[in-house]
Amino acid sequence: MDTTLDDPLVGRVLDGRYRVDARIAAGGMATVYRAVDTRLDRVLALKVMHPALAADAAFVDRFIREAKSVARLAHPNVVAVFDQGTDGPYTYLAMEYVSGCTLRDVLRERGALRPRAALDILEPVLAALGAAHRAGFVHRDMKPENVLIGDDGRVKVADFGLVRSVDSVTNTTGSVLGTVSYLAPEQIENGVADTRVDVYACGVVLYEMLTGAKPHPGGSPAQVLFRHLNEDVPPPSAAVPGLPAALDRLVATATARRPELRPHDAAALLGLALDARAQLGDAELDAVPPQARAEERTATEDRTSVIPRLVALREEPVHHTSRLAAPPIPDPDPAADRRGGHGGHGGRRPRRGTLLVIAGVLLALGLGTGVWYISAGQFTKVPNLLGKTEEQARDQLSAAGLGVKRVDRKFSDAFDRGTVMNTDPPGGKRIRGNGSVTITVSRGPQVIAVPDLKGKPLEAAKAELTAAGLAPGIVTQAFSQDVAQGSVIGSDPAGGQKRAPDTAVSLVVSKGRPVPVPNVTGKPVDQARAALEGLGLKVETAPGQVDSPSPAGTVAGQSVGAGAQAAAGDTVTLTVSKGPRQIPVPDVTGQDADAARKALEAAGFKVKVDRPFLSFSNTVDSQSVPGGQSAPEGGTITIRTKGL
């Protein structure tokens, strides 16, 4: 049923500027409309926050943050944000309107895609996210619904409403935002969201494009979350036999359950995607997949949700009472505790922290109430220490009857300096009551001193930057009196300044001392060549010759003008003259001398008037080149007036 007519915003003009024409889509936090900017007369999309949420300062801040963040990206594969404002109870974003469909629409209609089509969609998505990651932002809600495919084939990433600054991403104890089918394990378990959660979600989206189904379907969101925490994403070829191993490896790398095993951001994953494509032939890229089975899922599985994460649970045993069938939970196994993970790229046993998360999801989504039975006895649960100071962590471990085995210190971009970034065993794991825990404390973001590259050859400078953990950036050239040609004059940031790993460092490379270019126009070609080569310049002659006032065989023009500065080894191209152009001479005999002069000058000649002694006539008696004959353009024609 079309509810557009019942929408109070359709037909209104928001903020005296945006005329709302139709509703496009509605979500849990906002509704998107097609609108017209009446000032600029262009169609755009208006994302309007639900009025009930506008009173929540956190949601309003998120809206404003989205506008500012996306406005800074200015990337062709990111849906642009033009404006942000408020009109009464309505808070809105004015965004680029993309006429087309979403990737979800494509998957519903077609099922599994050919590998070439999947990569054609994935690569611009990764390019957009890579730009966001390098600008310091994490999307946090990547899914097919947020991938727009325009009628012209362009792919754009939308809905940066959950965007967060990479620098501000830390462990949270309140809630997790996102869509259950695409949440990374660390989002579910600890609330940690850095660039690698987007990498994980893109791996899930790639799996879905290649197979037509999600890797971890379930009868409820809780079951989906449980599988993301405890099961590896299967290889796509298991669902679609014949898919190349390169695509299996790409999905496995992107969806590693341990974030440190994934590419560090979308730009790095894009490089792997391009490598995978290069390994495939046309037959593999264009292989038609079999019709994927229809996938069953709950209505909330594709919806962005706010999922509380429970951080405490009573220790006494209770009975499980729930309307939902829950995955079986194995009893604690001390031997397994000692063994650690069990295969895969990040495998691990279900932990009590996992069970708490799932219980929280059940409560948050209104799908039933209940708790899991937890056996008590000689084992103690390791407290969740992530984000705590070292002193707080020691106190909590002591209160739980546990000791500190050792303290490691590592760099981290996600955790503040001095806070706990990891524990072994991890939080939620059950260990013997007198056990000890290794804690890893953040040393803060790792910074690298930019090396002093002045005077070093360009390739050597690039190699030194790469070895230091930085990235060679844009290279420009400039003249230098003291730095040899091809060597580095300076860098930005300058040598000695400290930057985060992978920061791009732009380089200025010397063109050597400037060489003033002389004027060789009108000189014989051999003479001009000798003069230029004597200054260290290379000389080429243009093919063919041109008409020119300069004599034939001389230089008619030069590619680098006289007085300009060039570098040693630069090439100057000379254009050779074939002499003046021959043009017809007008017949001006019998004409008044002044009129004759004008006629000849208009034809392209210079004019000289010869008047005989004691001649009082102004009539042309003769001309040096008879009318009808040709003469060099720019040459001089002499006209003589009648004598006595």
Tokens of 323: 């309307």
Q: Which helix (H) or strand (E) holds 276?
A: helix 266-278
Could you say which DSSP state residue 323 is in? S
212 conformational bin, left if phi > 0, alpha if psi -120 to 50, beta if neither:
left
The residue among 179, 135, 136, 127 whose CA lies nearest residue 154 is 127
Contacts of 100 (CB under 8 A, 6+ apart): 148, 149, 150, 151, 152
Give the integer Cα–Cα distance in Å for 368 and 366.
Answer: 6
| DSSP H or E segment with residue 572 | strand 571-577
Neighbours of 566 (CB within 10 A): 22
| E-only strand ranges, 207-257 | none
- Angle, helix 115-134 to helix 195-211, in steps of 10 degrees: 170
DSSP 2: -
Burial class (CB in 10 A: 0-12, 13-18, 19+), 373: exposed
Give the SS3 label for residue 443.
coil
Q: Which helix (H) or strand (E) holds 123?
A: helix 115-134
Question: Which residue matches tokens 């611009």?
Answer: 124
Among residues 62, 60, 81, 61, which one has the least CA distance to residue 70? 81
Our CA angle for 222, 190, 231, nearest 5°, is 50
**What does the DSSP 8-state code read for residue 370?**
-
Find all residues with CB under 8 Å of 144, minimum gap 6, and list them: 102, 103, 104, 106, 107, 205, 208
Q: How far apart are CA 371 and CA 349, in angstroms?
A: 19
- The residue ranges of DSSP E strands in 27-70, in sequence order, are 30-37, 42-49
Is-catalytic flag, 587? no
CA angle 365, 366, 372 (to 5 degrees): 90
What token pair was written down for 610?
Answer: 């010869």
How far apart, in whole angstroms, are the C-alpha atoms of residue 372 and residue 389? 30
Q: Tell how far CA 475 is from the center of its chain.
A: 20
Q: Please report the sign of the dihedral spanned by the C-alpha atoms of residue 412, residue 416, residue 417, residue 423.
A: negative
> DSSP letter at 105?
H
For residues 378 and 334, give the distance between their C-alpha atoms in angstroms, rounded to a whole number: 10
Catalytic residue among 2, 141, 275, 395: 141
Tokens at 149, concatenated: 């495919």
Residues known to be catalytic: 141
